[in-house]
Structure 1
Amino acid sequence: MVDAYGIMQFVNAITEFVKGACAPSISPVWQREQHFNARSPLRITCTHNEYEQIPQNKSSSDNVDSGKMIRTTIFFSPQDIQALRNHMSSLGNFGRCSRFDLIAAYLWKCRTIALNPADPNEVVRLSAVTNARGKPGLNIPTGYYGNGFTSPVALSVARIMCTSPLSYAIQLIQNANAQQSEEYIKSVADLLVLNHSVGNQEEADLKMP
């Protein structure tokens, strides 16, 4: 079982063999049992909102006529991203953030405003796949090709998301991603064994009215 990073590692290795290499430049490493296996005894030591069951009768999209919902692709040019950064800088108190954090926060905030939840105290969430490779303290070896990701969740009350500056959403996303530690990953593994892959791993509904 591999993730996207592992698949690309495999494809690159095949490419190197085709070009005449005797061995891949990055040797494949498994060692899943050292990094991602569940512990004995099992113990949940972290909060895992990504696997929390969401009540089916409570959703911000219920406030929108489904006939007006559309699926679309949004492209952000370098100029668009710079415009967002300039906007954030003009508000002050804006630290460093990745392009992903910036765009994800922007879409999350805009989606929440557009859906206009009937209950302003509804909790809205954003989940994104985060690669554990290269994270301090995890010591995942170069060449590891198995699943090496988690899906931390950022949470906010809808009315606070709608009325707060974009930096608020960015900080929530950064805080969620910062949870990814060795203990967090071990806790995820234990939870999945205990609950047999429970969760809200359904397709994210990012349709806009």
Structure 2
Amino acid sequence: MARTMSSVRRGAAELVAPARATPHEFKPLSDIDDQEGLRFYRSGLFLYRRRAAMDGVDPAAVLRAALSEALVHYYPLAGRIVEANPGRKLLVECTGEGAVFVAAESGVAMDELGEVTGPPVPRHEEFLCAADGAYADGGVVGRPLLYFQVTRMRCGGFVWGLQICHCLADAAGVAQFMTAVSEFARGVPGAPTVKPVWARELLSARRPPPRDVATRHHPEYEPVPDADRDKVSPSDALVHRPFFFGRREIAALRALAPPSLASRSSRFDLIAAFMWRCRANALQYAAADAVRVQFVVNARGRGRRSNATPLLPDGYYGNAFAFAVAESAAGELRRRPFAHALRLVVDAKARAMEEGHLQSVAELMAARGRPRFAVARTYVVSDITRSGLDGVDVGWGTPAYGGPATATLATFHVAGRRNGDGEEGIEVPMRLPAPAMERMVAEVARGLGGVDAQAEACLAARL
């Protein structure tokens, strides 16, 4: 082994090309894909325990071969991004050069990582062959689009690490590609069962852009006033803590809202609104400061319930989401009841789901130089509980954990279990400065307290 880092000995990085010849062509990304805020690498980790039936089988060799086969079908991922001027439009040159692959060995056993239910994964830097966020400043142009590391653990299990350029795929697209790799790893006949679809033109702006491009309000791309008065940044010394929401917590939140509002609020709406309010209070923003919650609204499957033609075909693996944004003065969020925050979240989601909203974002990107979405005084959160990342089976069974490697100022809703009784629910990782985290814990406890009788009654009615 050539390189040592902590407990991991990495082999030399190699390029894995598609197993067979693929077209050499240029494929434009959509105007949702190539926005400034997505020009980075996102990371994921999949933890597999030892399976006796697979003893003697090298997971690195299996996944290397499966990756090569999957890249035949997902050949743009084996290419490189180029930037066209004017307009900074991104295209993928399908060169077939391949993805980076590293095999590694660790002296650590899987059990030493503890029970991993959400990010950050312990020792995650050791399981990624390109450090998380390594290209945040270097950009994505001209670099490999995909990095794999397979780390064999001392116990016979292994960790599969992924870094992928966010411009190529969102969480659902990543899960689709990883599922394809897993099918080849297991020898599924006719793999991949979901055929990849490029079709990025469906989410691209009209050329030339129409004069009335700003027909919709997109606050996510408008700066927050006095952004320098934020109370937290990635450079701060931050502590991590997960918050769990099971049946009782969800019932308690529903009991805090009027029935008409609670009935049209999803679990995500309830938790996102609650955590937004608690976080803003914990960070002690000034009463007049505008604070936001920003979250992802997926466009996949839109139209099926109404029997309309879906916006996107099955197999589309590009970025297919808009950001919904709710905003309130911090003082109003603090003073008014929970229903105020919840109503803002529900209404923001409804606006982002309106017909034509995502196309309007694409037009805005092309017309206004692909602005970066605002993050100052903003709680950014994504729901990945239904992404499928936790079910990727490469022959060793489903992973003990499958999902993001880290959570920074942006966070996720992930499937989790309550310590003690193992109840399934939603886990929300949070990173804040230590004093703010202490206040956050108190805010969450206070917000969920005092409604126990109502919550239990609501829970009993739903069981």
TM-score (norm 1): 0.82
Equivalent position SS for 2:241? coil
Shift of 1:197: 2.0
Equivalent position SS for 2:242? coil
Q: Deviations over 1:177-200 (max 9, x none)?
A: 212334111111111112222134
Give the equivalent residue in structure 2 for 1:191: 364
Give the equivalent residue in structure 2 for 1:99: 267
Q: Residues 191 and 25 from structure 1, CA distance in 2 versus in 1: closer, same or farther, beyond 3 angstroms?
A: same
* Alignment size in residue pairs: 201
Q: Higher strand proportion, which one? A: 2
Give the equivalent residue in structure 1 for 2:14: none
Higher relative contact order (CA 8 A, sep 6+): 1
Q: Deviations over 1:157-186 (max 9, x none)?
A: 222211222222122112112123341111
Amino acid at match of 1:88: R
Whole-Å separation in 2 of the counterparts to 1:184 and 1:151: 10
Whole-Å separation in 1 of the counterparts to 2:245 and 2:214: 42
- Superposed, 1:36-185 pairs within 5 Å as 36-42=203-209, 43-56=213-226, 58-59=228-229, 61=231, 70-79=238-247, 82-89=248-255, 92-93=258-259, 94-118=262-286, 120-136=287-303, 139-179=311-351, 180-185=353-358
Q: Higher helix proportion, which one? A: 1
Q: Residues 193 and 78 from structure 1, CA distance in 2 versus in 1: closer, same or farther, beyond 3 angstroms?
A: same
What is the aligned-residue identity percentage? 35
Question: What is the root-mean-square deviation in Å for CA atoms of aligned residues?
Answer: 2.7
Comparing 155-164 and 92-101, the one that deviates more: 92-101
Equivalent position SS for 2:271? helix
Whole-Å separation in 2 of the counterparts to 1:86 and 1:141: 38
Among 423, 429, 432, which residue is 1:207 paired with? 432
Whole-Å separation in 2 of the counterparts to 1:40 and 1:142: 26
Gap regions ≥5 residues in structure 1: none
Gap regions ≥5 residues in structure 2: 1-167, 380-408, 410-430, 437-463
Residues 88, 166 of structure 1: 8 Å contact kept: no
Shift of 1:37: 0.4
Amino acid at match of 1:198: P
Residues 257, 339 of structure 2: 8 Å contact kept: no
